[in-house]
Amino acid sequence: MKIKPKRIKVSHKSKNRPPLHQLHRRDRNGNLTSKARHNMASDVTAEAAGQDEQDRSISRDGTDPLSLEARFDEQGRPQVPELYTSSPPIRDHLTTDTSISQDDVVKQCLPRLIKCSRSLVGVNSYGIPSLKREDHIKFLQEAIEYPRYIAFDPVRPWVIYWSLTALSLLGENVELYQQRVVETLSPCQNFGGGFGGGNGQLSHVATSYAVVLSLAMAGGGKNMDMLNRRALWRWLGELKQTDGGFRVCVGGEEDVRGAYCSMVIISLLALPLELPPNAPARAHGFTSFLDGLPEYLSRCQTYEGGVSAVPQSEAHGAYAFCVLACLCILGPPNEMISKYLDLPLLLSWLSSRQSAPEGGFNGRTNKLVDGCYSHWVGGCWPLIQAALSESPENPNAAKSTVGSLYSKEGLTRFVLSCCQADGGGMRDKPNTFPDAYHTCYTLAGLSSTQHDSGYSGMRHGEAGYPLDSAFAWESSKEDSDGPKNEALELIDAGDTLTSLHPIYVIPWGVVERCRELFSKKTGF
């Protein structure tokens, strides 16, 4: 990790004339040309025809739009690649609600992406603003104390999880909260097993997920003693459905969140995989939590290639993460993902989620970018890349890994330029308010650009607990011989975040600590 020395990079193709982006955007004094000013204001609403001509001429220059070389104008100011500063190369004439809202978002994002190239203040040599670390920490320290609105009453464990995870990403020691996390979450536990959103609320698998992960992050160890594992196991048994999936709570809806959250809890706490005697799914012939589960997840892949909340609904980024992560709990990624999903189709859909010029991810076809998909979609990538890589468990196969299949630069620019709120905290997109949820998942996505993680495979003879492969992942070492991480090249050394486990979405050490605590446990 280093800051590149400022220098003017002249590509051989443009030796005899100024680079085209300067030609289009700036006059000799470095001011925006009237054409460029016009573009900033009306690019996105302009009719396609005339606009197209100009946008296309840029790539005709032959310069690689994704080149990682920092570029500067005569004053030494950084230039952001055209890819992030102008309308997409092809735009249809037809105007509909979708195109209007898309244009509106581009209009909000462009000035922020471009602005970076107009001033040296607060931006690095790639035109990327620095991470407002201290502001975000302060924002989260307040968010975990006072989420303010009554609407958060049913999701208080989530507020704690989001804040602790985001604070961990920013390098803060969250064990300071140990005692208060335990005290606050204890009254959410129900005698019948599981945790509700607050005292006296029904147990819900999403809040239980947030509770388990929060307890683990805030010290683990004796925190975990407060978990009634036997009751949790029995309650999860009630959620298991005869089609293989899980409801989110007794009497609640069934969707892939139920499956992912349940399997995170079960595997992290090493609960028995055998269904408890009270489980209604036993009447269907099921005996294990795993029965019918991968097949259920498989049925949530849609004709578009993405994954939906329930079979036959619309493909959606957040549900895609739930399904991929759940499959990766059930077995090695290269076996599970390609066995249960059409991988090329999934890859095509996932790749389509990244949008230019914004650089961030949207959650569905023809929807808008949102910072939270930096994790929901961004978090799918390490899992998919692991599925595409050679099996590390086959010692005869040459180990080959697939490199990054999305633009880390795009995501980095979007998160740091568009999602940082002025007073701290991260947001969906410009013109929205920051909150703990977006801060957590936007930073988690940014972190995954900086730290590559992959499936390391299980060492021979290690197999014990059937879900061991969920713990056989590793974060690649910074000093390894592999190709340089482009995201780390783009940011200042002080802007790196810590790394999270790609399945459990908590720090690696926390996962290991849980694993040590529970894997040797026999019975409850």
Counting other chains too, the contacts that 477-484 makes at CB distance below 8 Å and 24 or more residues apart are 478/1, 482/401, 482/452, 483/403
State the CB neighbour count (10 A cutoff) for residue 78.
20
Among the options 373, 406, 441, 455, which is catalytic? 373
Among the options 43, 73, 291, 435, which is catalytic? 435
Angle (nearest 5°) at CA 215 between 212 and 221: 110
Among the options 316, 413, 427, 515, which is catalytic? 316
Among 22, 407, 412, 496, which residue interacts with another protein (rule: CB under 8 A)?
A: 407
**Cα-based distances in Å from 268 to 69, 178, 219, 513:** 43, 19, 15, 10
Annotation says 373 is catalytic: yes
Cβ of residue 179: shortest distance to another protein, in angstroms? 8
Cβ of residue 170: shortest distance to another protein, in angstroms? 18
Does residue 249 bind another protein (CB under 8 A)?
Answer: yes
* Residue number with CB closer to another protein (78 or 360): 360
H/E/C letters for each residue in 377-412?
CCCHHHHHHHHHCCCCCCCCCCCCCCCCCCCHHHHH
Does residue 156 bind another protein (CB under 8 A)?
Answer: yes
* Contact string 251-270 vs another protein (x = CB under 8 A): xxx-----------------
Among 33, 45, 59, 456, which residue interacts with another protein (rule: CB under 8 A)?
A: 59
Of the ranges 38-46, 403-411, 477-485, 495-503, which one interacts with another protein (CB under 8 A)? 403-411
H/E/C letters for each residue in 476-509?
CCCCCCCCCCHHHHHCCHHHCCCCECCCCCCEHH
* Contact string 454-473 vs another protein (x = CB under 8 A): --------------------
3-state secondary structure of 474: strand
User: How many residues does this entry show for the chain?
Assistant: 524
Distant-in-sequence, close-in-space partners of 516: CB < 8 Å, separation ≥ 6: none
Angle (nearest 5°) at CA 252 between 251 and 255: 135
Annotation says 370 is catalytic: yes
* Residue number with CB closer to another protein (186 or 287): 186
State the CB neighbour count (10 A cutoff) for residue 62.
10
323, 256 contact by CB (below 8 A): yes
Does residue 303 bind another protein (CB under 8 A)?
Answer: yes
Does residue 94 bind another protein (CB under 8 A)?
Answer: yes
Among 7, 180, 222, 459, which residue interacts with another protein (rule: CB under 8 A)?
A: 180
User: CA–CA separation, 54 vs 49, rounded Å?
Assistant: 9
Annotation says 492 is catalytic: no
Residues numbered 314 to 373 that lie near another protein (CB under 8 A) are 314-316, 339-342, 345, 347-349, 351-352, 354-356, 359, 364-367
Among the options 255, 428, 452, 495, which is catalytic? 428
Annotation says 136 is catalytic: no
Of the ranges 311-319, 326-334, 418-426, 491-499, which one interacts with another protein (CB under 8 A)? 311-319
**Cα-based distances in Å from 208 to 139, 198, 228, 276, 428:** 25, 11, 12, 18, 25
* Residue number with CB closer to another protein (271 or 416): 416
306: tokens are 């993405």
Does residue 309 bind another protein (CB under 8 A)?
Answer: yes
Among the options 372, 419, 440, 514, which is catalytic? 372
Counting other chains too, the contacts that 144-152 makes at CB distance below 8 Å and 24 or more residues apart are 144/177, 144/436, 147/436
Angle (nearest 5°) at CA 161 between 155 and 163: 105
User: CA–CA separation, 329 vs 339, rounded Å?
Assistant: 14
Of the ranges 15-23, 115-123, 132-140, 194-202, which one interacts with another protein (CB under 8 A)? 194-202
501, 477 contact by CB (below 8 A): no
DSSP calls for 262-308? HHHHHHHTT--SBPPTT-GGGGGT--BTTTTHHHHHHTTB-TTSSB-
Cβ of residue 487: shortest distance to another protein, in angstroms? 12
Among 49, 121, 151, 493, which residue interacts with another protein (rule: CB under 8 A)?
A: 151
Residues numbered 216 to 245 that lie near another protein (CB under 8 A) are 243
Annotation says 372 is catalytic: yes
Among 173, 312, 480, 522, which residue interacts with another protein (rule: CB under 8 A)?
A: 312
Cβ of residue 510: shortest distance to another protein, in angstroms? 18
User: CA–CA separation, 335 vs 212, rounded Å?
Assistant: 28
Of the ranges 18-26, 283-291, 301-309, 321-329, which one interacts with another protein (CB under 8 A)? 301-309
Among 129, 147, 258, 378, which residue interacts with another protein (rule: CB under 8 A)?
A: 147
Of the ranges 97-105, 166-174, 448-456, 501-509, which one interacts with another protein (CB under 8 A)? 97-105
491, 412 contact by CB (below 8 A): yes
What does DSSP assign to residue 130? Answer: P
* Residue number with CB closer to another protein (241 or 267): 241
Annotation says 61 is catalytic: no
Residues numbered 99 to 138 that lie near another protein (CB under 8 A) are 99
Among 49, 92, 395, 460, which residue interacts with another protein (rule: CB under 8 A)?
A: 92
378, 360 contact by CB (below 8 A): no
Annotation says 438 is catalytic: yes
Cβ of residue 509: shortest distance to another protein, in angstroms? 22
| Residues designated catalytic | 316, 364, 367, 370, 372-373, 428, 435, 438
